[in-house]
Amino acid sequence: MGESGLQTVVVTLCAPGPDRAADGEALIAAVASASGSETAEVRAGRVCPHCGGTDHGRPWATVRGTGYGVSLSRTTGAVAIAVAPGSVGVDVERVSRVAAAPLDAFTSGERDRSAGDVGLLAACWAAKEAVLKRDGRGLRVDPSSVDVDVAAGSARFEGVDHAVTVLRPAADLVLVVAAGGLPVVVEGTVSGGA
């Protein structure tokens, strides 16, 4: 496959559609926008690396034979779709929802560095998901195996530091992108409330 020419990660942030089919249409539109193509030129779908099923699993996209890295995340009232020149993971979370997360999902370092700040814990959780999505295994891997340092913009996983970009696009929302440190551009907005 050819190279995309894309030099940044473009994240489309929008309200969720009524179903998964709408998410698929939003992903196609995001790839078309990021690549400067028509939606009819985008081919996209999902494939599970474990069972080969196409009704679930990691999203993929191509435009005229050129592959793009894509990742999709949804939370209450928001969908984030990342399009990148290579492997990418994205996660969007409501801070208010993560406040209720079990503490065993966080490492002792994350708990110490956050000092009880729920916004920082939400960023840690979103970074864990973004890194594991980029890895391709997602939450099949224990999230506590990823140690996130929000201030440093990194997540240590399997002995390797992964660059993460942490953004707060709304008061109750945290958005994290794992894409090897590429610049991130966010298009669109959503409401800050849950």
- The runs of H, that is alpha helices, within the chain are 20-35, 95-98, 108-114, 118-135
Q: How confident is the model at residue 174 (pLDDT cuts 50, 70, 90)?
A: very high
What is the overall mean pLDDT for the chain? 91
Q: Considering only CA atoms, which of 33, 34, 12 is closest in space to residue 23?
A: 12
Q: Is the pLDDT of residue 74 over 70?
A: yes
Residue type present at position 135: D
* 144 close to 132: Cβ distance less than 8 angstroms: no
Q: Is the pLDDT of residue 23 over 80?
A: yes
Task: Enumerate the β-bridge partners of residue 89.
Answer: 178
pLDDT one-digit tens code per residue, 83-114: 999 999 999 999 998 877 666 788 999 999 99
Q: Is the pLDDT of residue 194 over 60?
A: no
Residue 101: what pLDDT? 66
Q: What is the pTM of this model?
A: 0.92
User: How far apart, in whole angstroms, are the C-alpha atoms of residue 73 and residue 133?
Assistant: 10
